[in-house]
Structure 1
Amino acid sequence: MGRTSCRGLEGESQELSHKPGRDCEMATLRVRVEESVFAVERATLVRDCEYFRALFRSGMRECQQEEVHVKGLRARGFLIALGVLRGERPILTGEEIIEVAECAAFLQVAPLEKHLINIINSDNCLLMYHTAATYGLLDLYHSAALFIRDMYRDLEDDAKCLPEELLDYVESLAPSTYVTVGTHSPTIELLQDFVRTVCYLDEDEKEWKVLTDLPIDASTTMAGVTVLDNKLYIVGGVRDVSNQVVVSCYCYDPETDTWTTFCSPRQLRYNFTLVGHEGYLYAIGGEYERTTMSSVERYQVSTGNWSFVSHLPRPVAGAACAKAMSRIFVCLWRPMDATDIYEYVPVRDEWVLVTTLIRHQSYGHCMVAHRDNLYVMRNGPSDDFLRCMMDCYNLTTGQWTAMPGQYENSKGALFTAVVRGDSVFTVNRKMTLEYIIEGKKWKPKKEMNGFPRIGSMWTFLLRLPKTGRQPEGQRVLNGNGRDLKNHVYHHQSYALQCSD
């Protein structure tokens, strides 16, 4: 491989304690990996790479050199790492995953491990899991194990190539469960309605069962509902036809089976979109006093504070939203025949137009994500609410594909779809239907009993504790991390045996 020049990301680096490191920080460093040489801005390496940050702070002779030779890595893995640090999101092959994981572990590049987590899928999850155990990438290890747990019935035969201890860890985790709640207004204790419940789907018995009762003052009517870090959040909602907003917000923790309250957004709102992402809740658009808004607020769970972020490009209520590869996407409609999809970029606090779908009656009611695809569901011909048309946008290629056929809403409310692994769950009063995503089609896989409640529904995924005891996997998550580290380090001597 010949010489390669790769420019890094622009931006200020953090303060360094050593003057020698700071003096060389602004220059360009040549990094030799195998027979290739890469020109990289030192600021990029300081910001994103623990290995080079420690090197430049050390005051050692190497931090003054114009070229550093890194041994034990492969040039292709380092090249991909630099691309990720520039903001690229490549889909990787099996060998590339191993090389990139090796680079992420050796150089301690957190954004690189995060990218690997974002591209876990059914084709590479076993390889990701074993590779993470080999190189001690704890976050990737746990994320891959959770993915495998959610698809364990489909992957059980292939997973036999894993060491027994790795399989034991997967089986100790709680799988994601399909959960739903209807639209309800607040009540009073004497008139507590038995249907004001959050329910989960028992897939073995094909029945919906009660998980918990809603708090008396909670409203799910025109509320914002989402899940973040395996906790259910309900924000806003209205009391009655006057659209009086419920001020209290609610959080349900399935681990403790308890509800807590937290403060409302600075701007009261209803009929808005609530998204949970990396420690924050985002309240997007909505209405107040029958006025549609473009304002957006985010709630930092760790501090309990709401703050305004960049407004949407235009006002919107009840916008369809999805997260794909740890990115937030929102549909904004332009009458009559266009749907714009915007991405919110938290690090820059800005909304970026990604693509526009131009279809007759392209008003998107729901959007879900699978791998690097966004699926936009909309009404059938002539506003036929019994049928659903679907279009797929691939984030990697930037191409739209019209999904073949029409999907019958009488068999599954696609406007409330939820993705788990390679499956899509839909529900209405008569039937709960699981689709399997195969190529460019969604094929019916399993039929279960419907959710026998009238009105709209909120659907989502939660990991529920195993009956009668706390699951071992959750104990690891709630602990100090030592159990997980010991489990991973125990397997670092294994050679890689699985491939995708």
Structure 2
Amino acid sequence: MAEKEALELKSNLTTGLLDLLAGSRHVDTTIHVNGRSFQCHRVVLCAMSRYFDAMFSSGMLECQAGEVFLHNAHPAAFDVTLHFMYGKDIELTADNVCEILEMSSVYQIPALQSKCERFLSKDLCTGNCLTRWKLSSIYSCSWLGERSWEMILHHFKELATTDDFHMLGKEELIRIITADRLQVEKEEEVCKVALHWLEHDPARMGVLHDVFQHLKLPLMTQQYLESLHKAKAYIRENSTVCELVNKYAHRQRPGLHSASSVEERGEPDEIFRDRSEDVLVMVDGRRQEVVCYSLQRRKLFTLAKFPYFADGKAACVHLGDIFVSGGVSSVREKRLVRFNTKRNRWDECCAMNEGRSYHNLVSVGDQLFSLSGFLDDEPVSSIECYTSQGNSWQKAGDLAAPAGGISAAALGDMIYMFGGRRNRHEREMPTFQSFDTRTKTACILNDLPLPTCWSQAVVVDDFIHIFCPNGHVLGFEKTGPPRIMTVSPKLDGNYFSVVHHRGTFLVIQVGDAKYHDEVRIFQPDTGEVHIRHERLPRSLCDSKWVKVIINRHHLKYECSHPTHR
């Protein structure tokens, strides 16, 4: 009811403000934009725009007189921007969005900029991601920039042949070829792309050394570097580049990657380090072997062995590493271990105060929260908080409705929890509850549209997707209650993991010998689902798949028998 009243209040306020603007009533400011005048209210301008807030706070004479002149704005674009500031739901189009984005950036209107960025992200593809990446740099669009950047990294080989790529500036090229997560099989591919970019314009030979000193020459084969020296006259004619290529073409391979070797050469560590990859890591309850799946190469590799056996562990990614806690073996486990993705090893952390299994770990800022779960058949009510800096646990509070089998995810400082069971034998619940990590208070919110248990909650862009075993996909954001978004084909079992990857959700069946190699690709925009078969290992029903970034140097040992138990 409170949310409904809030929405009604917002609607009434917007209607009132737009009526005041349309009737020019109680106006106190006139904005002149290239021959067109707009009468408006400075309180609204200041509330929505940091630019106008600073202007009207500066004491400028023109502001005191209520007359403001904007010389670099287009009247039509300002008209749309002004109505947005008064609460109107404006329509963005391919023809006006760039101009409106410029207005939102110049006049510092975060809400409008966010709307433009999301619009431009809807049809993001290899044909426009370079252009929109550069656009995001001009207008400081972090949201659009991150998505454009991800597409550039994952489609580097395809983009490298386009006109947009050939028109990149030197600094833009260097930023791409030095990206740690650039998706390439071999460093020779990067060198070939850089050479094509240089050869596209003869004037670029002046920056030949600038580009070559950022290539990972030490990771290229001696044969390739020798052929490069022979085939490219402009390399032989540039003494500094020629010397650089020859040094690695005739190097002694042993010891090249050592820290002392890098220091002696006085060269950047980046050119000696392998790139990183997005991988899925499986944490299994009853085996120490840890398997990871490269999403780029679609191959399985083994990582450092897991330190203990237990069913019902919880796992999540926190501060770039994998944290795993609890479970049940011969005893109720209190352990917390951390997989260091940079060093490929498991480190023991401070143990929890209370053992639990089939629970949740949720990352919030620099803190890790352990909540829900079971002690034998009964739910655990306590919530514990772990800080990496102090390597310590402390009790943070209690659930409003103790339950196990819930899913949980955080938006800002709030942890939201969905469904569950009061004990292992009762029916699924529609309970929707939250925990405020700042005030350490919990409360029950509106019921879910349906009861659920063992669902999976995943956060993407301040929106939580809740995947239920019966195929329902719920959605939740802070502006309203959870709602049913779509119904996908029902899973063949109750146990699965969900991972977000580049705009889609990968739904992976666990604990099933027949369907373990099926990955359901869920498209959130359309609700479509298609099945892709991957070379994945069989797993137990309490196995967890999590996505992390790991250095390719650790992906040495490929699994030859992924289905072996």
TM-score clears 0.5: yes
Count of matched residue pairs: 411
Cα deviation, residue 271, structure 1: 3.0
Cα deviation, residue 258, structure 1: 4.5
**CA 456–131 in structure 1, closer or farther in 2 if over 3 Å, else same:** same
Instruction: Tell me the residue number matched to 2:496.
Output: 415
Cα deviation, residue 62, structure 1: 7.4
Task: Work out which of the residue numbers 116, 130, 133 in structure 2 matches 1:129.
Answer: 133
Instruction: Tell me the residue number matched to 2:40.
Output: 37
Cα deviation, residue 459, structure 1: 0.9
Instruction: Tell me the residue number matched to 1:296.
Output: 383
Instruction: Tell me the residue number matched to 1:431.
Output: 517
**CA 229–44 in structure 1, closer or farther in 2 if over 3 Å, else same:** farther
- 2:370, 2:541 → 1: CA distance? 23
Task: Work out which of the residue numbers 243, 248, 273 in structure 1 matches 2:332.
Answer: 243
Cα deviation, residue 314, structure 1: 0.9
Q: Which runs of 5+ in 1 are unaligned?
A: 7-28, 186-194, 379-387, 470-500
Does structure 2 retain, via aligned residues, the 8 Å contact 1:338–1:358?
A: no
Q: Which runs of 5+ in 2 are unaligned?
A: 1-13, 19-27, 184-276, 556-565
1:340 partnered with 2:431 = yes
Instruction: Tell me the residue number matched to 1:283.
Output: 370
* Matched AA of 1:463: I
Give 3-state SS (helix, strand or coil) of 1:407's partner: coil
Does structure 1 retain, via aligned residues, the 8 Å contact 2:282–2:543?
A: yes
Does structure 1 retain, via aligned residues, the 8 Å contact 2:367–2:386?
A: yes
* Matched AA of 2:341: P
Does structure 2 retain, via aligned residues, the 8 Å contact 1:324–1:369?
A: yes
Alignment of 1:38-437 (within 5 A): 38=41, 40=43, 49=50, 61=60, 69=68, 71=70, 74=78, 76-77=80-81, 98=98, 102=102, 105-106=105-106, 123-124=123-124, 126=129, 129-137=133-141, 139-140=142-143, 143-148=146-151, 152=155, 161=164, 164=168, 169=175, 172-174=179-181, 177-184=278-285, 195-203=287-295, 206-214=298-306, 216=307, 221-234=311-324, 236-238=325-327, 240-246=329-335, 249-265=336-352, 269-287=356-374, 291-301=378-388, 309=396, 311-322=398-409, 328-333=415-420, 336=427, 338-342=429-433, 356-359=447-450, 362-368=452-458, 372=463, 374-378=465-469, 388-393=470-475, 395=477, 399-409=483-493, 415-425=496-506, 426-428=508-510, 429=513, 430-437=516-523
Cα deviation, residue 451, structure 1: 1.3
As a proportion of its length, which structure holds more helix? Answer: 2
Does structure 2 retain, via aligned residues, the 8 Å contact 1:208–1:449?
A: yes
- Which structure has the larger Rg over C-alpha atoms? 2
- 2:395, 2:52 → 1: CA distance? 36
> Structure 1-normalised TM-score?
0.62
Does structure 2 retain, via aligned residues, the 8 Å contact 1:320–1:367?
A: yes
- 1:310, 1:68 → 2: CA distance? 55
Q: For 1:108-138, what per-residue CA distance to the aligned partner results, in whole angstroms no more than 9, with x for missing partners?
A: 677887888889955348376343212234x
* Matched AA of 2:534: M
Greater relative contact order: 1 or 2 (C-alpha under 8 angstroms, separation 6 or more)? Answer: 1
Instruction: Tell me the residue number matched to 2:537.
Output: 451
Cα deviation, residue 77, structure 1: 4.7
Give 3-state SS (helix, strand or coil) of 2:358's partner: coil
- 2:343, 2:407 → 1: CA distance? 31
- 2:441, 2:158 → 1: CA distance? 39
Q: For 1:187-228, what per-residue CA distance to the aligned partner results, in whole angstroms no more than 9, with x for missing partners?
A: xxxxxxxx52332213465432113333x3x56643331113
* Matched AA of 2:317: V
* Matched AA of 2:382: S
What is the RMSD of the two structures over their aligned residues, measured on CA atoms? 5.2
* Matched AA of 1:403: V
Does structure 1 retain, via aligned residues, the 8 Å contact 2:472–2:484?
A: no
Cα deviation, residue 339, structure 1: 2.0
As a proportion of its length, which structure holds more strand? Answer: 1
**CA 400–302 in structure 1, closer or farther in 2 if over 3 Å, else same:** same
**CA 120–64 in structure 1, closer or farther in 2 if over 3 Å, else same:** closer
Q: For 1:369-420, what per-residue CA distance to the aligned partner results, in whole angstroms no more than 9, with x for missing partners?
A: 5675624322xxxxxxxxx4323436578642451543334xxx86212121
* Matched AA of 1:240: S
Cα deviation, residue 177, structure 1: 2.5
Give 3-state SS (helix, strand or coil) of 1:393's partner: strand
